[in-house]
Amino acid sequence: MVKFFYRFFLILLFSLILIIGYLSFFGFETEKFDNLIKEKANEVNQSVKLEFKNTKIHINIRELDLAVKLQNPKIIIKNNEVILSKIDLFLPLRSFVTSDFILKKAEIAFLRNDIKDLEKVSRIFVPKFISKRINKIFTKGELNGELTIPFGQDGKISKDYKFVANLLKANVNISSDFKIKNLSTEIKYFNKSGHDKTINLFVNKGSILNLDLSQSSFDVNFDNGEKIIKSKIKTTGSTEYKDIKKIALLFGFNLSNIKSIEFNSNLETLINLKLNDKFKIIERYISVNGLIKELSLQHEEFTDIKNYLPEHESKISFKDTTIKIDKDKKLELVGLIKFDKKFENFSLKYRKQSDKFSANGKISFYEPLIKIKKLNFQKKPNTKADLEFDITGLKKSYNINKLVFLSNKSRIEIDKVKLNKKFELVDILSAKIVTFSKNNKNNDFLIKSHQTKKNTISINGDIFDASPLLKTLYKKDNKKTFSNKFNKEIKVNFNKTLTGSSDEVFDFAMIASVKKGSFNKLSLKGNFSSEEIIEMSIYQLDNDKKTLQVISDRAKPFIKDFNFIEGFEGGKLEYESIISKKDSKSKLLITDFKVSKVPVLAKVLTLASLQGIADTLSGEGIRFESFEMQSNIKGNVLNIEDALAFGPAVSILLQGYVDKGKIVSLRGTLVPATKLNAIIASIPIVGDILVGKKTGEGVVGVSFKMKGPPKDIKTTVNPIKTLTPRFIVRAVEKMKRKKKEETK
């Protein structure tokens, strides 16, 4: 009997195992739950109808429940049909006996459905904001995946459902500017509770703005009303300028001065966003790390850059440059930069905060020509130079905290200089300048603010090159050196000052007072030799006018830069100018000088058939006893009211204007001295006194007109038989003064 029961038990157990195994792997078909399943599905949502061929029952051994698998399932939502690959319903084992349809969970899977079909299902199972945007966001694509829906004991859908899918070959419209193309991504959606939802996306393939997005990931979390988006976007490839401008706007960078950009990179961008209930961004975190393989940008021509890099063609290139942008908009670049043909090392750190920015870095230069005009310095092409800088920009000013420029033996160090937005000097702590020109030292001086007297600046040194300053002496520059906030006392001492000629000034000393950015008092002295001096002074006449006076025993430093005179020797100079905000009125006197190689004057003499004098001009030169000029300057135009050059060979009276660097327009009269003396000699009494009894006849001189750019002046000449009373009066006045000096 025992053996019988033992065998019976083994057979029963074996049969049970076979049945369970069979039901687990193969199941059995039944119609027991068909109507009930359809009814329950319709109860969930009246717009949803569930259709299937029949059901197959499996036993789920792991969870000890029944798995009801619907054959050939499909969902009909408002007459739209969605084909599903499976619907598995999981019920307690007792449901098979009691016919109580209490769902534990449902698993729904679909293969390669059009993305538009997802929108039909999403109306039921996913948040409304996703459902509403699917049609707008997705223009094409395929979706396969599985949706797991748990049910509570009351038969209602629980909150902790999940969705796992693969999106293939999709086009996604994030915005009008940002569109993802050919996207293939893994999607995971977890609804842990009513207030805790998570979406995870991992990109296998796709591109945005022609950049490959492979290996990028996105995480979206909804927790207690907060919506947090965390994304790691990996991008590789080349980008066009129009797309780069869109990206720059995200980081708050302005590219309005950039004409074109070619960009090839490998970057990782982190974007974390927090949104409110209306999906407006309330917090933003953006950072970038990666490698700029190649970047070439063409920018607008900046005059300030062109002044220092005259051959720069407004193009800068980067190569093999690491880039980092953190959440505080701090940009770091380290790599290679090119201004011409050769790449050089550089590093840059830039940070912008509202109206403030800071920039510091190091740049090496080799190929480009660099000029610093105010120091008469230039770095020749294919010579090494290094620049290190630390600059802070505020709303109304720039602070050069530190700047060091090195090139061979030349060195420029600037410490704590403040400029306004027009690059006018507001304040300075110190600057050390040592430069070489043509292998000769031309600057070696120190600028330093006084430690106790805060409004006093001292400038001391062995040598100073004043030739750039002398070139601009007669030119009005729209750019001021000092700002309206600059109020300082300046003391200057140089052992030697260069003028651009052999006329060097020794023991140069100056004391000046600057109020509201303008000299209101100045006293300057220096020596050409033990017997030759130069003096200059400025003093205030009233609130609007000031006087500038210059006395120099050598005139050449002040005349040599007139581009229509190539040879000037000797001469003493006296200059006085009354300067106001609107204009300036000046008197210039140069005595006892000689000129040669004056192309304009030589042409006048040649056209007037005064070849002998013309030959003298091109040879030894023509001597003049004096040159007197009254003029005024308005803007950049020098108006010559009256100018008389009086000499033993020829005398010239002229007037006109010179628009600096643009055009020269002069007209006048030229008379050989023999003819002038003859005419004045014929004047009763006066002629006898000044010249003696001399007579002349025929052509007495020429009238001339000169007009054109300084390097291409057109000249016309006409002979005259009589002189204007104005010329005669001016000549007589000059002769009277000369006669009076001779009789002293």
How high is the pLDDT of residue 308?
84
Higher-confidence residue of 182 and 618: namely 182
Residue 203 pLDDT exceeds 70: yes
Q: Which residues contact 257 (CB under 8 A, 6 or more apart)?
A: 299, 300, 302
| pLDDT for the residue numbered 406 | 95
175-179, 275-279, 674-678, range with the lowest pLDDT: 674-678
| Nearest Cα to Cα of residue 400 among 433, 426, 379, 376 | 426
Residue 46 has pLDDT above 70, yes or no: no
pLDDT at residue 40 greater than cutoff 60: yes
* Helix (H) or strand (E) run with residue 131 in it: helix 128-137
Highest mean pLDDT among 91-100, 126-135, 577-586, 653-662: 577-586
| Residue 249 reports pLDDT greater than 80 | no
Nearest CA to 719 among 735, 699, 741?
699
CA-nearest of 652, 650, 667, 658 to 717 is 667
Question: Could you read off the pLDDT of 91-104 as tens digits, one per residue?
Answer: 776 665 565 667 77
Q: Which conformational region is residue 439 in: left (phi greater than 0), alpha (psi within -120 to 50 degrees), or beta?
A: left
**pLDDT level of residue 694 (50, 70, 90 thresholds):** very low
Residue 367: the pLDDT is: 84
Task: Decide: 59 and 66 in contact? Cβ < 8 Å.
Answer: yes
Q: Does position 678 have pLDDT exceeding 60, yes or no?
A: no
Q: Which helix (H) or strand (E) holds 729?
A: helix 725-742
pLDDT of residue 440: 93
* Nearest partner of 251 among 288, 305, 276, 203, judged by Cα: 288
* CA neighbor of 670 nearest in space, from 588, 600, 590: 600
The structural domains of the chain, with segments of one domain joined by +, span 24-165, 305-465, 585-742
What per-residue confidence (pLDDT) applies to 57? Answer: 73
Q: What is the mean pLDDT of residues 176-189?
A: 84
Give the residue carrying structure tokens 């062109």: 306
Mean model confidence pLDDT for the chain: 79
pLDDT tens, residue by residue, 143-165: 888 888 787 777 677 777 788 88
What's the pLDDT score for residue 131?
Answer: 61
Local structure of residue 422 (DSSP, 8 states): T
Q: How many CA atoms lie within 13 A of 214 on its CB side?
A: 6
The more confident residue out of 243 and 495 is 495
Q: Tell me which range, 61-75, 462-476, 491-505, is most confidently predicted by mean pLDDT.
A: 491-505
Residue 727 parent element (H or E): helix 725-742
Q: Give Cβ neighbours of residue 9 (< 8 Å, ≥ 6 apart).
A: none
pLDDT at 110 over 60: yes
Q: In the predicted model, is pLDDT for residue 436 greater than 80?
A: yes
- Residue 501 DSSP one-character state: S
Q: Residues 509-535: what's their mean pLDDT?
A: 92
- pLDDT of 677 higher than 50: no
Q: What is the mean pLDDT of residues 299-308?
A: 77
The DSSP output letter for 375 is: G
What is the rounded distance in angstroms from the CA atom of residue 482 to the CA atom of residue 487? 9
- The predicted-structure confidence for 384-406, as pLDDT tens digits, reads as follows 999 999 999 988 889 999 999 99
What local confidence, expressed as pLDDT, does residue 599 receive? Answer: 58
d(CA 425, CA 519): 14
The mean per-residue pLDDT over the stretch 662-683 comes to 63
Higher-scoring residue by pLDDT: 19, 145: 145
**What's the pLDDT at 653?**
81
pLDDT value for 392: 94
pLDDT tens, residue by residue, 708-723: 887 777 878 776 655 5
The whole-number average pLDDT for the span 402-412 is 95
The burial class, CB within 10 Å (0-12 / 13-18 / 19+), for 657 is middle
Element housing 739 (H / E) = helix 725-742
Stretch 22-47: mean pLDDT: 65
Three-state secondary-structure class, residue 65:
strand
pLDDT reported for residue 490? 94
Q: Which residues in 115-176 belong to E strands, given as ranges?
A: 138-150, 162-173
Q: Which residues pair with 728 in a beta bridge?
A: none
- Using pLDDT thresholds of 50, 70 and 90, give the confidence band for residue 695: very low
- pLDDT reported for residue 699: 41
Which of these ranges, 64-73, 76-85, 312-321, has the smallest mean pLDDT? 76-85
The pLDDT confidence band at residue 609, using thresholds 50, 70 and 90, is very low
Here the tokens at position 288 are 């970038």
Average pLDDT over residues 505-527: 93
Confidence bin at 460 (pLDDT 50/70/90):
very high
More confident residue, 40 or 85: 85
Residue 188 has pLDDT above 60, yes or no: yes
Q: Please give the structure tokens belonging to residue 90.
A: 């999981």
* pLDDT level of residue 734 (50, 70, 90 thresholds): low
Contact 56, 69 (CB under 8 A): yes
**Nearest CA-CA partner of 274 in 198, 200, 221, 201:** 221
Q: Over 50: is that where the pLDDT of 680 sits?
A: no
Average pLDDT over residues 302-310: 78
Q: Which pLDDT score is estimated for 74? A: 78
> What pLDDT sits at residue 685?
38
**Beta strands 533-540; 546-552: pairing state:** antiparallel
Provide the 10 A C-beta neighbour count for residue 551: 14
| pLDDT per position as a tens digit, 527-575 | 999 999 999 999 888 878 899 999 999 988 888 766 556 667 888 999 9
Tokens for 551, please give them: 């006395």
Residues 6+ apart with CB under 8 A from 542: none
Q: What stretch of H or E contains 28? A: strand 28-30
List C-alpha distances in Å: 410 to 66, 383, 451, 494, 629.
89, 12, 27, 18, 41
Residue 52, pLDDT > 70, answer: yes
Residue whose pair of structure tokens reads 């007579």 in the numeric block: 695
